[in-house]
Amino acid sequence: MSQQKLSVSVSEPIAQFLVDYQGTYKLKTKSEIVEEALELLRERELEKAYAEATREIDPAWDATLKDGLADEDWA
């Protein structure tokens, strides 16, 4: 996967957290921490999107799932 260099500014407490986290987990770069944090944010957004999509499903869909077959026919 290709990498893209970005420049970000953070508050002093966040900068110190990055330094501490990097030391605690013996990470080579702060970029690893930022990338992991952004992945978590992306996952959270995907979860929200899936939840929204689930709410959009027509309740009548359940009636069509089995297409008229009895429960025992699905075993």
**For 4-54, how does the pLDDT look when each residue is reduced to its tens digit (9 = 90+)?**
999 999 999 999 999 999 999 999 999 999 999 999 999 999 999 988 887
pLDDT computed for residue 63 by the predictor = 66
Sorted by where each begins, the domain ranges of the chain are: 22-56
**Interatomic CA distance for residues 45 and 42, integer angstroms:** 5
pLDDT computed for residue 51 by the predictor = 87
If one compares 62 and 41, the residue with the highest pLDDT of the two is 41
Q: Is the pTM of this model over 0.75?
A: no
Work out the number of other CB atoms within 10 angstroms of the CB of residue 30.
15
- Residue 47 carries which side chain, given as an amino acid letter? E
Band (pLDDT 50/70/90 cuts) for residue 55 is: confident
Is there a contact between 33 and 18 (Cβ–Cβ < 8 Å)? yes
**Interatomic CA distance for residues 16 and 72, integer angstroms:** 60
